[in-house]
Structure 1
Amino acid sequence: MATTSEQKKSKSPWGWIAVIGLFLLSKAKWLLVVLKIGKFATLASMFVSLWAYALFYGWKFAFAIIYLIFIHEMGHLVAAKLKKIPTSPAVFIPFLGAAIGIDPKKIKDAKTEFFVAYGGPLAGLLSIIPAFVLYTVTNDPYWVLVMQLGALINLFNLFPVSPLDGGRIVSVLSPKIWLIGLIVLIPIIFLSPDPILFLIFIFGFFTWWGQYKESKNVVIMEHEAMVLTNINNEFERFMYSYDKEYDDERKRNEFTTLYNKLNGQKDKVSRFLSNNSGFKFPIFQEKQRLSIKKHHAEEKALKNTLNIMGREKYNMEEDPQFDVIIEHTQEKNESKRKKINNEVKRIKTYYRTSLQTKIKSLFLYLGLAILLAIILVYAMNLLETSPLANL
């Protein structure tokens, strides 16, 4: 995730606009479908951002922040390319940072998400090396500022709250870590009330809540798939006993009996929902909420089935072939059930990784964070003895 000038905390409205826009972009870059913009947009937006930063903070700082943001985003882009995930070019927006468009559907699992997210701060670490070399050669404290800013930007991004890079990285371990990160963030916000920290918490909470709801939705989707299976079993029994030699009246009566049976089940579910329509508190009344949602899914499956049966019968109004109507309805229910099961499988397996992968990922995450922290402390100590009077 690209970030902007955290060190230069302005109290002006521009600061607030930058913070809000930054996090909107950081969220969007994982959700936007690939943006259709050319490479020219990267260069043009980069120069506009450079001018804007220079206007407020001076050219030296502007060059430093643009360089660090660019390398960070290129890290994400290269990582995505290595995984053959299509992306848009990076786009810079003044006071907001930069972002690349990635289609989330192309990221199949948390291991891939780790790889793409890790590419940003890893490239950020590498971007500090030239500044260290130049400081060693020239002894110019400006390069110390670049080192400090680079370490701060990328270390900040490693905080384990989504949608920061750190949140995406630790998802390979467990998305439950997001909640731990949010809890740790609460006292930090009270001790150091800062708009950027507050917005991290808000976005992080809603990202965690979305993942929590998705895990609960698995149970609901599984219930809906089970209901569709039961309905199709009813159709199987109907087809087994159905005789094409029956007279038209008997055929119609048997079809009507099956239709009424399903309609009765639907009415029973609807009555339950009507009697339990009151508000239920999330988490505290989660069992009741889950039961109601499962009944909604059951009602939906029954309503859709009855609607399909009704449409199929209407299409054959002159000469209704009830066995064909049932077969068509059964096929559509089976298609829906397969889609649900595929989605359930995707959700269940997305964060599933081997113990070896988890250990390796944790080692890489902590190693990068420790290196950046060492560089940050080193640069801060240098700056204390080398004031940047010429900046």
Structure 2
Amino acid sequence: MATSRKPGGPKWAWTAVLLFIVTKLKSIAGLLKFSKVGGTLLTMLVSVGAYAIAYPLPFAIGFVVLILIHELGHSIAAKQKGLPVSAPIFIPFIGALIAMKRHPRDAATEAYIAFGGPLLGTIGAVLFLAAGVMLDNRLLISLANVGFMLNLINLLPIHPLDGGRISTAVTRWLWLVGLIAGLVVIIDLFSPSRPGSWIFVLLWVMFAWDLYQKFVRKRLKPDQQLIQLNTVMVPYASLYEQGLPFPGQHHRRELSFTTWSDLSTGEQTVRYTWEGYIDHAERIMPNQAVIHKVEAVGCNRHDDTQELSITSKMEFSPHVNDRYYEVPVRTRWMFGIAYGVLAAALGTLIYAANHLL
């Protein structure tokens, strides 16, 4: 006689816990504001709950710990290079990330920071494996195996994975290898039921598009972009006082501008003026750019507020610093050898862990 199963068990319990955390997120975040690692602890807890829906709770905890060890590797490497970073923030079924408050200024530094994650992550997984062998614990061995695979996949030369960043200091030709290897991984391991599969496909597509933009499209057509700047409001009274005319609705003119970058943050600012109309307006660029021109493209009168609105646009091209990729030959060889050794070691460790299961 068949019996119906009532909802219960750890998966249902952790689903309820996860829903509770989400509904109370604002309150919990307020309680954790005093701590720099408050966000890390909260997002770790949410991730454990999310993974526990699909996997046993001990596995979910161990998996999140392995991700934490990996991210700490990046944090330690960044601090060794004098670059401040945030505490890790966990995103269920994606992993975790750290925000860099200042970007690396050369490919060698970027590669060093990227290498720290899989290196420490591999050491952490080895400790799990050693503990699993000593305690004859299949769970720890399984976690170690997952840790090895996680770090090996991260070494694929695909941006924004760690391997893609390490490749900048070895040779950018590895990106082509990563493009092909990533497609092989998708064909071989893709499963619609696994969220991670869709995320990897998305990363690969973004990487392929970025390569096309960098090495194909830009060679065929210079990448000039146009953005609309914030509308500037000028009081009628100011124009009356200076005896200035009211420009027509379709009035256009090039504006004077200056631009500079903050050496500590790398942030670029563009300041533009129109004597009598725009004293000085500023725009922070999201990335370094070559500014071609700033132009007023329209003026509208607003009699209800007694103001004139001026719309402007800026034409620019993203700045590509080729010197960023200039790495001494010895450094390239060091990163290349370390990269290959770590990848080979992870492959060997995966083979060993599979035989212990």
Structure 1 residues 93, 190: closer, same or farther in 2, change over 3 A? Answer: closer
| Deviation sequence 1:314-336 (CA, Å, 0-9, x none) | 76xxxxxxxxxxxxxxxxxxx97
Q: What is the identity, as a one-letter code, of the residue corresponding to 1:38? A: K
Structure-2 residue corresponding to 1:141: 138
Is 2:36 aligned against 1:62?
Answer: no
Is 2:100 aligned against 1:97?
Answer: no
Structure-2 residue corresponding to 1:353: 327
Query: Which 10-residue stretch deviates more, 152-161 or 179-188?
Result: 179-188
Structure 1 residues 87, 348: closer, same or farther in 2, change over 3 A? Answer: same
| Deviation sequence 1:156-206 (CA, Å, 0-9, x none) | 100111111110111112233212311333344344444344223212213
SS, match of residue 170 in structure 2? coil
Q: What is the identity, as a one-letter code, of the residue corresponding to 2:207? A: G
Give unpaired runs (5+ residues) of structure 2: 1-14, 16-33, 192-196, 227-251, 258-271, 277-289, 293-317
SS, match of residue 68 in structure 2? helix
Q: Which structure is higher in RCO with an 8 Å CA cutoff and minimum separation 6?
A: 1
Structure-2 residue corresponding to 1:181: 178
8 Å CA contact 1:42, 1:92 repeated in 2: yes
Q: Using the alignment, how far apart are the partners of 1:314 and 1:64 within structure 2?
A: 63
Structure-2 residue corresponding to 1:87: 85
CA RMSD of aligned residues (A): 3.6
Q: What is the identity, as a one-letter code, of the residue corresponding to 2:211? A: W
Structure 1 residues 61, 336: closer, same or farther in 2, change over 3 A? Answer: closer
Is 2:349 aligned against 1:375?
Answer: yes
Structure 1 residues 313, 371: closer, same or farther in 2, change over 3 A? Answer: closer
Q: Using the alignment, how far apart are the partners of 2:344 and 2:149 within structure 1?
A: 12
Is 2:129 aligned against 1:132?
Answer: yes
8 Å CA contact 1:163, 1:207 repeated in 2: no
8 Å CA contact 2:86, 2:100 repeated in 1: yes
SS, match of residue 101 in structure 1? coil
**Please, which of 156, 160, 168 is the counterpart of residue 171 of structure 1?**
168
Structure 1 residues 313, 79: closer, same or farther in 2, change over 3 A? Answer: closer
8 Å CA contact 1:48, 1:94 repeated in 2: yes
Q: Which has the higher strand share?
A: 2
8 Å CA contact 1:117, 1:165 repeated in 2: yes
Q: Using the alignment, how far apart are the partners of 1:347 and 1:185 within structure 2?
A: 27
| Deviation sequence 1:244-275 (CA, Å, 0-9, x none) | xxxxxxxxxxxxxxxxxxxxxxxxxxxxxxxx
Decide which structure has the larger Cα Rg and report it: 1
Structure-2 residue corresponding to 1:44: 42
SS, match of residue 171 in structure 1? helix
* Residue 87 (structure 1) shift: 1.1
| Deviation sequence 1:280-323 (CA, Å, 0-9, x none) | xx47xx44x34xx68x99xxxxxx996449x99976xxxxxxxx
1:113-132 aligned within 5 A: 113-132=110-129
Q: What is the identity, as a one-letter code, of the residue corresponding to 1:139? A: D
Structure-1 residue corresponding to 2:155: 158
Equivalent residue pairs, number: 247
| Deviation sequence 1:191-229 (CA, Å, 0-9, x none) | 44443442232122133245437xxxxxxxxxxxxxxxx
Q: Using the alignment, how far apart are the partners of 2:214 and 2:112 within structure 1?
A: 20
Q: Using the alignment, how far apart are the partners of 2:69 and 2:150 within structure 1?
A: 12
Q: What is the identity, as a one-letter code, of the residue corresponding to 1:380? A: N
Is 2:349 aligned against 1:362?
Answer: no
SS, match of residue 172 in structure 1? helix
Q: Which has the higher helix share?
A: 1
Give aligned-pair identity as a percent.
29
Q: What is the identity, as a one-letter code, of the residue corresponding to 1:39? A: V
Q: Using the alignment, how far apart are the partners of 2:132 and 2:175 within structure 1?
A: 37
Give unpaired runs (5+ residues) of structure 1: 1-13, 15-35, 214-281, 298-303, 316-334, 338-342, 384-391
Q: Using the alignment, how far apart are the partners of 2:94 and 2:275 within structure 1?
A: 57
Q: Using the alignment, how far apart are the partners of 2:341 and 2:274 within structure 1?
A: 65
SS, match of residue 92 in structure 1? strand
Structure-1 residue corresponding to 2:231: none
Structure-2 residue corresponding to 1:204: 207
1:269-288 aligned within 5 A: 282=217, 286-287=219-220
Q: What is the identity, as a one-letter code, of the residue corresponding to 1:158? A: L
